[in-house]
Amino acid sequence: MSPPADWGCQRALSNNVIGFESTPTRFPARAKSLGNLPHRTDWAKIPPLKIHSHTTQWRPSVATIPDNFLGLPRPHAEYRKAKYAVLPIPYDSTVSFQVGTRHGPRAILTASQQVELFDQEYEREFFKAGVATLDPVAPNMAGPKAMHEDIFAEARRVVADGKFLIGLGGEHSITSALVRAVLTKHKKLSVLQIDAHADLRAEYEDTPFSHAAVMRRVVEMGVKVTGVGIRNYCIEEHRFMKSKKIAPISARQAREDADWMMRAVESLGENVYVTIDIDGFDPAYAPGTGTPEPGGLDWFQVTDLLKATAMNRRIVAADVVEVIPLPGNAMTEFLAAKLIYKLIAHIEANGGGRRTKN
């Protein structure tokens, strides 16, 4: 049975109980990262969330609130019919400053219940393309490399099923496994990286699978990376970028150069993977992140860039990472949820990005 035509409005009213007056619900204790840092969540009061590791039978979740993106009804959230598949990855083992990105996926899913489904720019509702929410990838306590392999295995199944994969972090290290999975289907792939940091270290804190080295791993796959919003990197990364002729577009250039967006899009290949580290935004818009670097991008710079990319290239997968929910402030997770839905809108409104020019 299909939902009524005005279901989006009814949903917005009925979901008010999930609002932001209380601390966002979070994943249970068994989904914590390797770090044993204290947190304020009373795990005993949170209902258990079914998590499938790589040793169990993989099954997509059905439409369950609050674990379903946008709180969609079953006809638009069934994996078999959905075009988009959201894969939560509550993992933050290698973070190096503020912890808590493991709580990001649940906070974003909860905040997504409040996102209005009617897009004013396009005067359409885009949820009808179908958005399924999968069970989270459980952190692997064997270490970052084992976690990389688990994420790759889960993501590869989604890609093999022909779904548009949307990874929900968690820390940024998850992106290399997701890109690797997308490469099994889309060979001519480039990455649009919206970020404050280059993330191009050879390794960091004794692991090549660190969040600070994730784009180095992607480059090693033979994938071209275009960074936008980059405003912090070390001397090692500076030398590596010079040697590989990698020229990121800084947040200052995005503010001062009229042609920055055209340069970013033209640098991308036919198929594009979009990775959005939430710290690419100025912390005035997204304060809930591990390293809130000042001088970042704003909402319209990011969404206009996504629109230009969807109009001129084929976006085939994406992720949003590094969200840390803050007590009493749901600004960051709500921005992330709305951003994902806006990305879907741009893709759907522009023919899935199939009007490629190269």
271-323 confidence digits (pLDDT tens):
999 999 999 999 999 999 999 999 999 999 999 999 999 999 999 999 999 99
Distances (CA, A) of 211 to 9, 91, 92, 166, 171: 39, 11, 9, 18, 6
User: Is 24 part of any domain?
Assistant: no
Nearest to 88 by CA among 46, 35, 28, 5: 28
25-51 confidence digits (pLDDT tens):
333 332 333 333 333 333 334 343 343
User: Is 52 part of any domain?
Assistant: yes
The predicted model scores a pTM of 0.83
Nearest to 276 by CA among 210, 229, 325, 312: 229
Q: What is the structure's pLDDT at 324?
A: 96
Q: What is the structure's pLDDT at 16?
A: 39
Domain CATH code at residue 281? 3.40.800.10
Q: What is the mean pLDDT of residues 144-149?
A: 94
User: Is 12 part of any domain?
Assistant: no
Domain of 322 in residue numbering reads as 48-353
Q: What is the structure's pLDDT at 227?
A: 98
Q: In this model, does residue 202 exceed pLDDT 90?
A: no
Distance CA 346, CA 308 (A): 9
If one counts the domains in the chain, the total is 1
